Structure 1
């Protein structure tokens, strides 16, 4: 008897993709239209956290920001091509953890593409800071991508150690 779709790696990956994409888009909608952060600029949340409005016209950490309006299309096309490749990986992996991580990365990438198409830039708003140190402003999609990549790297590192031990 076959496992239910959502218990298979690909089904789990799609679930995580939809969850990360949904949370990303709902949080951005709330930031823009509920909290109205574009007018406020920045809102204190905790001693180490603000919501600060940033329209990111570039890619990670502001790289390649000098390509102008063409960047909106170029970055979106590249991100969608990568997302398509990630979906193939997710469909082929036998690992639930890998599928979930790839789903989170794909959901995050698609969330940022939606922003580029809809607004012409990515909505970034999470601003972590402490003791005079300040990190880049990011969003839920960015968090999903970074956390999932870290989990994949850890999975790979531990898998490598297990293979060496045998």
Structure 2
């Protein structure tokens, strides 16, 4: 299998798993009506509609702002796809595929719902105080894993393809 094919497969699988998880949580588990679901003492399923960008930054439900975010996302996906096509290693290509798949998965949410569906919440209680991480989804996990793969690949010593 060529590196580009591996990258495309990772992008497609990411989109499918991300969208399937969100559809299941919204339509089967009905998380919107059920409310928070405690999975473990440190992990809950909660529904959060993210109208901003990563980590909830730039929250704005204005239609022009949403269109601008989508335009930036499209440009980023095209640039990453060009980089993926030029990539020389399977790890970098798969990492780029994960990032592309995550961006596309969250983009589908933005088009379908006007916001990104986030649902995973890690938390810890220390001395009676609860500390929460940001609520995220599988697309976000794929993006972080893709960035980690790119960083790891950059330390392996194989010359990377130039980003567009």
Contact map agreement 1:57 1:71 (CA 8 A) in 2? no
2:64 — aligned with what?
Answer: 70
Deviations 1:109-164 (A, max 9, x none): 0001100000000000000112332100000000000111022112223439xxxx
Q: What's the offset of the Cα at 1:91?
A: 0.9
1:114 — aligned with what?
Answer: 108
Provide the TM-score with structure 1 as the length reference.
0.88
Gap runs ≥5 in structure 2: 159-164
49-58 vs 38-47, which deviates more?
38-47
Provide the TM-score with structure 2 as the length reference.
0.89
Q: What's the offset of the Cα at 1:61?
A: 1.1
Alpha-carbon separation, structure 2, partners of 1:76 and 1:31: 24
In angstroms, what is the RMSD of aligned CA positions? 1.4
Contact map agreement 2:51 2:61 (CA 8 A) in 1? no
1:164 — aligned with what?
Answer: none
Deviations 1:85-110 (A, max 9, x none): 11111111121000100000000000
1:51 — aligned with what?
Answer: 45
Task: Flag the structure with higher helix content.
Answer: 1
1:124 to 96, 118, 123: 118
2:16 to 22, 35, 47: 22
1:142 — aligned with what?
Answer: 140
Q: Secondary structure at the match of 1:65?
A: coil
2:161 — aligned with what?
Answer: none
Count of paired positions: 154
2:162 — aligned with what?
Answer: none
Deviations 1:6-65 (A, max 9, x none): x10100000000011100000000011011011122111111110010000000111111
Q: Secondary structure at the match of 2:157?
A: helix
Gap runs ≥5 in structure 1: 1-6, 161-166
2:131 — aligned with what?
Answer: 133
Alpha-carbon separation, structure 1, partners of 2:110 and 2:66: 6
| Runs of at least 4 residues off by over 4 Å | none
Alpha-carbon separation, structure 2, partners of 1:140 and 1:70: 27
Q: What's the offset of the Cα at 1:76?
A: 1.1
